[in-house]
Amino acid sequence: MRLHDLKPRPGAKHRRKRLGIGESSGHGKTSGRGGKGQSARSGSSIRIGFEGGQMPLIRRIPKHGFNNKRFKISYIPVNLDALNAFDDGAVVDETLLRKAGLANGKTNAKTNGVKILARGTLTKKLTVRVSGFSAAAKTAIEKLGGTVEIGK
């Protein structure tokens, strides 16, 4: 392949729309500008959002209010039945859950650690040390003689 063999891809180049070239061309007379009015005049350009003097939509919409999403506390959920993967009497914390592949997700400003939820049944006595517990999960762990510790 040589430099003179290079061509743009098919469809990459378009012919310029030639305006005012006769009625049968489809771009004659008003040349695609419609009838009369501001946009039909030469040198016309109307800024984005301008509505002819009517109060623009962006200014009509209320802009006050508060959204709490930025301050949301979110946890990586781990269910009780997943904790059966550990040995009886083990101390389970976030790092151990991550090594086992049970708590997947980034730890950053958006996530506040791991929370144990009560889906499934726990069959082993464990010491669980994570960021949060649901009330039902806490009672299920303590019912088997395990302990619950809240901490990062």
pTM of the model: 0.55
Query: 């019912």: which residue's tokens?
Result: 143
* Phi, psi for 85 (deg, rounded to 5): -70, -20
Domain boundaries, the chain: 73-150
pLDDT band, very low/low/confident/very high, at 57 (cuts 50, 70, 90): very high
Q: Average pLDDT for residues 13-30, to the nearest whole number?
A: 91
Alpha-carbon distance 128 to 124, whole Å? 11
Task: Name which CATH class applies to 73-150.
Answer: alpha beta
Length of the chain: 152
Task: Quote the pLDDT of residue 148.
Answer: 93
Q: What is the pLDDT of residues 88-145, one digit of tens each?
A: 989 999 889 989 988 887 766 567 889 999 999 999 999 999 999 999 999 999 999 9
Round to the nearest angstrom and report the end-to-end CA distance of the chain: 62
